[in-house]
Amino acid sequence: MVGCRCHKDSRCKGDQRGNRDGNGNWSAGGIPNLNIGLIRYFGFGVTDALDIILVAALIYQFLKLFRGTRAPYIFAGVLVVIAVGVIAQILDFPGLSWIIDAVRTVALVALVIIFQPEIRRALGLVGQRPFFRGFIKESVPIDKIVEASCELRERGLGAIIVIERRMGLREFTEEAVALNTGFSVPLLISLLLPDSPLHDGAVIIRENRILAAKAILPVSRNLPPELYGTRHRAAVGITEVSDAVAIVVSEENKNIRGAVGGKLTAPLSKEGLTSFLNKEMGVNA
């Protein structure tokens, strides 16, 4: 065995395990080599670290989606059944093992049926992520918009409903009250009631969502103020600066008009409003 002739010197670099400092402690000379050796031995690399992170994120999102539902309790029951099956096989219980094996054949289908509401909800939430919304274009609920407009007319309530098309209306929604909620007739009516703090201004709709309320719109100068009020001129004004479609409900005359391309239509019936929206939104009636 060939030893280092300067083994009494703490500065000796011949020891492959690492270097000692003045106190006799090992420096980091050998520890990184040991760690690298362990990593290479177990085959752990960047891909494995990324895999662990993705699995952890997936489990976290899974638990987050099912939080507040009955799914965790059902999942706990499934784990109990699996544990009983493992114990039955270890202890060699033939009767219990036969029952577990019989249940196993239909377990997958049963789990899908049991977790059907939770699975549907989870997939729906995944599809609503902003990343997927760029690929999925949802349709404008024309029938509901017509229903809400007619109900507003019957109640004698004024309103401006702006439907966004290809050109975004961000400059108007930024100054408005952001909602970004699913469209519903009762919600739209409640926003436009006289005692609602959001009834002034316009409601902006994007696809099947109420994007914002209390939006301030530019007023058109092409309509004579003595013939048309601020609401009608604002409905036309937004269509002069964008490709949006606007619906204006008059509380005084109790009629509904449409606006597009800087033009205001004549008063529309329920069928006329439906035809107008179908045409402008590119829907085949």
Q: Quote the pLDDT of residue 45.
A: 72
Q: Where are the domains of the chain?
A: 66-133, 142-280
- Domain 142-280 sits in CATH at 3.40.1700.10
Cα dihedral 108→110→115→117 (10° resolution): 130
29: CB partners within 8 A, 6+ apart: 17, 18, 19
Which pairing describes strands 202-206 and 159-163: parallel, antiparallel, or unpaired? Answer: parallel
CB 202 within 8 A of CB 160: yes
Q: How far apart are CA 264 and CA 233, in angstroms?
A: 9
Q: Quote the pLDDT of residue 124.
A: 62
Q: Quote the pLDDT of residue 123.
A: 65
Question: What's the token pair of residue 172?
Answer: 């108007």
- In this prediction, the residues of the chain whose per-residue pLDDT falls under 70 are 1-44, 65-71, 115, 117-138, 283-285
Q: Quote the pLDDT of residue 41.
A: 55
Q: Quote the pLDDT of residue 12.
A: 46
CB 282 within 8 A of CB 142: no
Q: Quote the pLDDT of residue 103.
A: 75
pLDDT digits 0-9 by tens, 29-53: 445 555 555 555 556 677 878 888 9
**In the chain, how many H helices and how many E strands?**
11, 7
Q: Rounded to two decimals, what is the model's pTM?
A: 0.56
Q: Quote the pLDDT of residue 58.
A: 81
Alpha helices in the chain (DSSP H): 31-42, 46-65, 71-91, 94-114, 116-127, 130-133, 142-155, 170-173, 185-191, 230-241, 270-280
